[in-house]
Structure 1
Amino acid sequence: MAALGAVATLLSAVSAATNNTINSQIRLAYAGDNGMYVSWNTFEQLSNPTVHYGLSPHALNKHAFSNLSVTYATSLTYNNHVKLTGLKPDTTYYYLPEHLLHEDATAYSFTTSRPAGDGTPYSIAVVVDLGTMGPQGLTTYAASTTSKNNILKPGEMNTIDSLTKVIDAFDFVWHPGDIAYADYWLKEEIQGFLPNTTVAEGYRVYESILNDFYDEMTPVTSYKPYMVGPGNHESNCDNGGTTDTANNITYTVDICIPGQTNFTGYINHFRMPSAESGGTGNFWYSFDHGMVHYITLDTETDLGHGFIGNDQVGGSEFDNSGPFNATLNAQTTWLEADLKSVDRSKTPWIIVAGHRPWYLSHANASGTICWSCKDVFEPLLIEYGVDLVLSGHSHVYERNAPLNNGVVDPNELDNPSAPWYITNGAAGHYDGLDALQYPLQNYSRFGLDTHNATYGWSKLTFHNCTHMTHEFVASGNGTVLDSATLYKRRKCSLKKRGSHRQQQHHHL
């Protein structure tokens, strides 16, 4: 309680300065088959966060509330979470949280998940390694160490712009790790991208970057569910090993502030359907949506033998992180049970996402590829016939062939028995894109990197129970630069149901 008192004092001091530049950061997340989490931020703690909702924007005749109004020592806001239950499937609802940070009281809207067994075609958007855009992130200028190829052209759309423009083209956004890149605040200052501040005041810069990102995402996340997973930039700050190349100085001291360590901001900001799927917090969970079973994995901690350490992934950002479940093999035990429980007659597709890849053509493979993830997850993904594995972490795009322990499936995309692997960490942040290693691995089928200087996101379209298409969408102009369709030979008993979905002008 003492910590909350200190936060309250801090909030009262900064709210006047930030109230004109922050919105309520409204975000949605599926909460089981018949529920939806509604989250938003306020400057003061709410005793009973409340959401009003209904089937008409003019009749919000139901309400739900909770006691979840949480924060941490250096946060400038409180995160409020309310779960709506008993909702009809595939139905548009209108809603309005109480105590928003702006005066506009127009109702927002969302559409609940499609029921398992619904064979109606649909698409989703996938982004990884997406940071804030604008003066504190990806923009028309860059740090001195960033390739000029990787800045935005004047008037060019960024990834958030691109998602907002085509928001009615996908059902939800999946973001498996590296959100906002607020932990880069000192690196951005050292490289001359942001003005210098003191370490003691660093939390203001960190929180400002977080708020910028969640504000920018609100036109999307207040309308479409935003399903997230943990990445290394949610784990801990990245400032302890920052190097000032121009002055030949390496900062090796740990200056991480509260909120940057142990996934603190990530834990407070989101509510994912782990309780509904037997998972753990915002770290690993699953959910059904139409003909697909989705699984979010945690590649940062709890890989069967405790949390990741320096000897496993070549980095030090995990030393203060996790594990988040005291039971050995907690995540893999859960994963196997979850995979066993999938009813392939209703959800024939199984799609898995985790932040770190284990198949990639990368020039710095020793610090990028997660061999522990491969050892722990791959046998289960093969055994239970997972169709597609998505990752990021490396800021490139690479579409690979279906692989079984590094061996290309002879059927390629024509009814393979092995999972298909795609890495797309090219959504964009201030530091630009990475380089693939040439020649590409023998399993690589298409790649984009810093030489192409193209930011983009993935669009997955499920046509029916046998065909699924992955597209790389260039954020700048919306063109599709890569497309491939996976075919699985199986019989289907799915039904296309009458939808309660309707086109409406959503609140922006």
Structure 2
Amino acid sequence: METKTTISMLLLCVLLSISLPAVRTDYVRPQPRKNLQFPWNPKHPSLPQQVHLSLAGENHMRISWVTDGKSAPSIVEYGTSPGEYTLSSQGEATSYNYLFYSSGKIHHTVIGPLEHDTVYFYRCGGQGPEFQLKTPPGQFPVTFAVAGDLGQTGWTKSTLDHIDKCIYDVHLLPGDLSYADCLQHRWDTFGELVQPLASARPWMVTQGNHEKEKIPFFTDAFASYNARWKMPFEESESASNLYYSFEVAGVHVVMLGSYTDYDELSDQYSWLKADLSKVDRKKTPWLVVLFHVPWYNSNYAHQGEGDGMMAAMEPLLYAAGVDLVLTGHVHAYERSKRVNKGKSDPCGAVHITIGDGGNREGLAQKYVHPTPEWSVFREASFGHGELKIVNSTHAFWSWHRNDDDEPVRSDQVWLNSLIGSGCLEEKTYESRKILFSP
């Protein structure tokens, strides 16, 4: 019966989804690996599963986990010594139904205030194993690990293993997490897969097309994603979990939604405009933005899909002096020069596409030729990125290809922030007034 139900759900989702175009290969890279297998491992219904962290306002973190038992408490006990929990916090819980699937109890508990750059030990629900987390630093340097379009394949495992060897403070994920695609148990196995990393460092995510999972007349879009991966949207005065912002050390990070309204009359546009206008570049000299669908893309895959969002929102990002834009969706890597309005501009943002975390759909291996003048480096391989922001003016970006399971630093560059370039002062009143006009 379970097999028939799973097949029926999969067929329904396939019929309701839009097929992506196949990409022919003229550049041979490792083939996609099979989905990981997760043997059934029964646990006591009150024990925490799928534990992950996210930032939740200044000096606070949200701890999320799932229990099979509906009566388990949403309490987190924590402290700075193993086994000694001098503090505790009570949270909230939710659950959801998706066709024939009923989720476990999904807990979200905010702890804090926390000290910067400090190791804490914690326990979820009053029992079970002890976990350990490290809070981000309060000042430079700060390091972000970046990987999008993860999924649950052998390449995903390779990417996560490489990230685990990186000394980083926060993980950034620009959409397409589990590739559950309506099969809700894959959300559970994804949570199990990433728990070793996500329970130790905050994971800040935004949605991709594979999080949509909408079935007309049956399920709302993003129901599973919103229930499981609660981000600090309320803390950043957003009305939706699909877009929000946060600050860490001297960096203001904005997470946008490619699959919710973004035109000038939308709530997201109004929120973005207000959020960017409040950024204090003396406090946070770096401004980084993430969303799923790239605006600057010289791969044949997904050409033009970001044009509408780009037309609406690029003027806001340019006026605010955004330093770096990180996206996914295209299953390959590409880095641009500083760009604006489709061409190089020393006062624009650097755009990086990094949708190559290990998805099951394979790599997008065919590029447009000749290479656009704004494109600096492009390659179709699985991998991850590391962004080390050293101080208020300099950052080091590197992309690490997964080649035969060995991490290879294939692209690297020093970035200068716009705050130290004079660009913000040089921009005319006309280009900046968009942020402050009614």
TM-score normalised over the length of structure 2: 0.80
| Aligned partner of 2:150 among 112, 122, 130 | 130
SS at match of 1:360: coil
Give 1 or 2: higher strand fraction. 2
Name 1:293's counterpart in structure 2: 252
Asked whether the equivalents of residues 30 and 113 of structure 1 are also in contact (C-alpha less than 8 Å), the reply is: no
Residue 284 of structure 1 pairs with residue 243 of structure 2: yes
Listed one character per residue, the Cα deviations across residues 82-115 of structure 1 (whole Å, up to 9, x for unaligned) are: 1113223333221110166xx5x3x212223433
1:429-444 matches, within 5 Å, as: 429-435=359-365, 436-444=367-375
Listed one character per residue, the Cα deviations across residues 91-141 of structure 1 (whole Å, up to 9, x for unaligned) are: 3221110166xx5x3x212223433xx2x212111111110125xxx58xx
Listed one character per residue, the Cα deviations across residues 164-200 of structure 1 (whole Å, up to 9, x for unaligned) are: 233xx110111121111111xxxxxxxxxxxxxxxxx
SS at match of 2:234: helix
Q: Does the C-alpha gap of structure 1 residues 76 and 365 become closer, same or farther in structure 2, counting only changes over 3 Å?
A: closer
SS at match of 2:235: helix
1:485 is matched by which residue type in structure 2? Answer: W
SS at match of 1:343: coil
Name 1:479's counterpart in structure 2: 408
1:230-309 matches, within 5 Å, as: 230-236=207-213, 261-304=220-263
Asked whether the equivalents of residues 356 and 383 of structure 2 are also in contact (C-alpha less than 8 Å), the reply is: yes
Counterpart CA distance in 2 for 1:93 and 1:364 is: 43
Name 2:159's counterpart in structure 1: 159
Counterpart CA distance in 2 for 1:230 and 1:489 is: 28
2:278 is matched by which residue type in structure 1? Answer: S
Counterpart CA distance in 2 for 1:334 and 1:402 is: 25
Q: Does the C-alpha gap of structure 1 residues 441 and 225 become closer, same or farther in structure 2, counting only changes over 3 Å?
A: same
Q: CA deviation at 1:386?
A: 0.5
Q: CA deviation at 1:490?
A: 4.7
SS at match of 2:310: helix
Q: CA deviation at 1:20?
A: 5.9
Name 1:314's counterpart in structure 2: none
1:336 is matched by which residue type in structure 2? Answer: K
- Unaligned runs of at least 5 residues, structure 2: 1-38, 422-438
Residue 109 of structure 1 pairs with residue 40 of structure 2: no
Counterpart CA distance in 2 for 1:439 and 1:79 is: 49
| Aligned partner of 1:95 among 118, 122, 125 | 122
| Aligned partner of 1:400 among 336, 355, 360 | 336
Asked whether the equivalents of residues 127 and 176 of structure 1 are also in contact (C-alpha less than 8 Å), the reply is: yes
Name 1:447's counterpart in structure 2: 378
Counterpart CA distance in 1 for 2:420 and 2:158 is: 41
1:137-156 matches, within 5 Å, as: 138=155
Q: Does the C-alpha gap of structure 1 residues 227 and 295 become closer, same or farther in structure 2, counting only changes over 3 Å?
A: same
Name 1:309's counterpart in structure 2: none
2:274 is matched by which residue type in structure 1? Answer: A
Counterpart CA distance in 1 for 2:263 and 2:420 is: 35
Count of matched residue positions in the alignment of Structure 1 and Structure 2: 376
Counterpart CA distance in 2 for 1:340 and 1:173 is: 25
Counterpart CA distance in 2 for 1:59 and 1:364 is: 52
SS at match of 1:386: coil
SS at match of 2:78: strand
Q: CA deviation at 1:437?
A: 2.2
1:399 is matched by which residue type in structure 2? Answer: R
Name 1:62's counterpart in structure 2: 87
Counterpart CA distance in 2 for 1:257 and 1:364 is: 31
Name 1:86's counterpart in structure 2: 113
| Aligned partner of 1:214 among 191, 213, 224 | 191
Asked whether the equivalents of residues 231 and 241 of structure 2 are also in contact (C-alpha less than 8 Å), the reply is: yes
Name 1:376's counterpart in structure 2: 312
Q: Does the C-alpha gap of structure 1 residues 448 and 80 become closer, same or farther in structure 2, counting only changes over 3 Å?
A: same
Counterpart CA distance in 2 for 1:46 and 1:269 is: 18
TM-score normalised over the length of structure 1: 0.69
Name 1:35's counterpart in structure 2: 60
Q: CA deviation at 1:42?
A: 0.7
1:441 is matched by which residue type in structure 2? Answer: P
2:150 is matched by which residue type in structure 1? Answer: L
| Aligned partner of 1:171 among 169, 172, 183 | 169
Name 1:467's counterpart in structure 2: 394
| Aligned partner of 1:357 among 269, 289, 294 | 294
SS at match of 2:59: coil
1:442 is matched by which residue type in structure 2? Answer: E
Q: Does the C-alpha gap of structure 1 residues 23 and 429 become closer, same or farther in structure 2, counting only changes over 3 Å?
A: farther
SS at match of 1:268: helix
- The two structures, once aligned, show a CA RMSD in angstroms of 2.5
Listed one character per residue, the Cα deviations across residues 29-61 of structure 1 (whole Å, up to 9, x for unaligned) are: 001112110000111224641111112113112
Q: CA deviation at 1:385?
A: 0.5
Counterpart CA distance in 2 for 1:262 and 1:400 is: 32
Name 1:308's counterpart in structure 2: none
SS at match of 1:473: strand
Asked whether the equivalents of residues 121 and 131 of structure 2 are also in contact (C-alpha less than 8 Å), the reply is: yes
SS at match of 1:230: coil
SS at match of 2:102: coil
Counterpart CA distance in 1 for 2:62 and 2:416 is: 34
Listed one character per residue, the Cα deviations across residues 359-406 of structure 1 (whole Å, up to 9, x for unaligned) are: 11021444x531111011100000010101111111111111111101
- Seq. identity, %: 32
Q: Does the C-alpha gap of structure 1 residues 280 and 46 become closer, same or farther in structure 2, counting only changes over 3 Å?
A: farther
Counterpart CA distance in 2 for 1:26 and 1:465 is: 33
Asked whether the equivalents of residues 281 and 419 of structure 2 are also in contact (C-alpha less than 8 Å), the reply is: no
Q: CA deviation at 1:235?
A: 0.8
SS at match of 1:33: coil
Name 2:358's counterpart in structure 1: 428
